[in-house]
Amino acid sequence: MTDEAYRVLVVDDDPDVALYTSTVLERRGGCVVLAISDPTKARAAVDEFRPDVVVTDIEMPGMTGLELIAQLRAEQPDLPIVVMTAHISVDYAVAALRSQADEFLTKPIASPELIAIVRRLAAGGRTNREAVRPQEYVLAVGAHPDDVELGVGGILAAHRDAGDTVVILTMSRGAKGGRPDDRQNESLRSADLLGARLFLEDLIDTEITNTGPTISVIERVIRQVNPTIVYTHSIHDRHQDHRAVHEATIVAARSVDTVACYQSPSATVDFRPSRFVSIDGFVEQKLELLACFQSQASIRKYLEPDFVLATARYWSRFSSASDSCEPLEVIKDANDLSIQSRTRPAIKRRAPETAP
């Protein structure tokens, strides 16, 4: 579990009220707040920001707060919602409650009351989500040591924090990039730090194929793990091992509902991510995982913390609600990767035209 700050979406067309509400919740309530003035953009904001609570006005141009509640309830019935209005009216209160608002507040709102209500609803919402959240079984497949940690280290850390089972399958011991024994020990330390199970195979570095032997290895691990989500290399990659592992994984994971591909430093400009997974709160843990690979530190600049941080920051440009992201090309998505508990990555559905 994590003590991540409560996330609150404020929807109010009055900039003064929005600023007051945001300031109170941020400075006194310790919340992370996103304020928007257009209620028609609230659904997209909820998908991207993944708030613990929505605080909305009633009378707004384009869509009333009551209409917004009905829309949100149809998609996320358990999302706590607080309604605010300047009209002290029993009719308004009844309408709000009939629209399934959790609380009804009249302006001006006393800051202690606002904070208490938001924190109570946020805490209850998180508890309810965690009680019903199914556990995921995650398999991350890489060609060489450090491939998985570099591509989805933050995402895997978030999965572990959410209580998911994480397994790493590394197809070779990276003999072309250093001493196999060193790289094996580094992989074991990283997996232990993450709390993941490691399968370390011994296919020949730079000679991994996309055919029977590689497919058989991945199928064997899939039978043991029975994953609900598989992460692997993108096909858009200059390294032949990465492409081969991608193709073999796609065949081996044909019965897995959710498959997504991560970026490596050798990815080409054809890498086209369609999801941008927030790793806010897990960046430091990703750096700790990569620090395990000391044998590569002096020869792989992409393992340097500044490089890793800059890359995560770059991809966050496609997610206004996050400071750091890891990109994914989604191949199959039967499990909705955008469904997020407080420890689940927040994902923006948008594809950029170019990669860095």
Same domain, 60 and 151: no
Residue 234 belongs to a domain with what CATH number?
3.40.50.10320
Q: Is residue 307 one of the residues assigned to a domain?
A: yes
Residue 108 belongs to a domain with what CATH number?
3.40.50.2300
pLDDT score of 348 = 39
Same domain, 117 and 173: no
Same domain, 52 and 141: no
Q: Is residue 71 one of the residues assigned to a domain?
A: yes
Q: Is residue 1 one of the residues assigned to a domain?
A: no
Residue at which a domain ends, from 103, 132, 161: 132
Length of the chain, please?
Answer: 356
Sites in the chain below the pLDDT cut of 50: 1-2, 336, 338-356
Q: What angle do CA 311, 317, 321 make, to 5 degrees?
A: 115
Residue at which a domain ends, from 86, 114, 132: 132
Same domain, 200 and 117: no
State how far the Cα of 122 lies from the Cα of 6, in Å rounded to an integer: 7
State how far the Cα of 238 lies from the Cα of 264, in Å rounded to an integer: 10
Q: Is residue 172 one of the residues assigned to a domain?
A: yes
Same domain, 282 and 213: yes
Parent domain of 50: 7-132
Same domain, 25 and 121: yes
State how far the Cα of 234 lies from the Cα of 329, in Å rounded to an integer: 7
Q: Are 352 and 346 in contact (CB under 8 A)?
A: no
Same domain, 224 and 298: yes
Same domain, 51 and 197: no
Q: pLDDT digit string (tens) for 37-96?
A: 999 999 888 887 889 999 998 888 888 888 888 888 888 888 899 988 776 555 655 555
Same domain, 92 and 54: yes
Coil/strand/helix, residue 42: helix
Q: What is the tally of structural domains in the chain? A: 2
Same domain, 190 and 305: yes
Q: Is residue 305 one of the residues assigned to a domain?
A: yes
State how far the Cα of 223 lies from the Cα of 252, in Å rounded to an integer: 10
Q: Which two tokens stand for residue 58?
A: 């009633």
Residue labelled with tokens 């990703």: 286
Q: Which two tokens stand for residue 219?
A: 């199928």
Q: Is residue 356 one of the residues assigned to a domain?
A: no
State how far the Cα of 264 lies from the Cα of 46, in Å rounded to an integer: 30
Residue at which a domain ends, from 111, 132, 153: 132
Q: Is residue 181 one of the residues assigned to a domain?
A: yes
Closest CA to 242 of 155, 169, 138, 141: 141
DSSP letters of 99-138? TT-SEEEESSPPHHHHHHHHHHHHHHHHHHHHHHPPPPEE
Q: Are 243 and 213 in contact (CB under 8 A)?
A: no
Burial class (CB in 10 A: 0-12, 13-18, 19+), 43: middle
Same domain, 106 and 197: no
Closest CA to 125 of 81, 183, 89, 90: 81
H or E segment and range at residue 150: helix 147-161
Q: Note the Cα 71 to chain centre separation in Å.
A: 24
Q: Are 191 and 148 in contact (CB under 8 A)?
A: no
Same domain, 128 and 193: no
Q: Is residue 355 one of the residues assigned to a domain?
A: no
Q: Are 321 and 34 in contact (CB under 8 A)?
A: yes
Total-model pTM = 0.64
pLDDT score of 132 = 60
Q: Note the Cα 164 to chain centre separation in Å.
A: 13
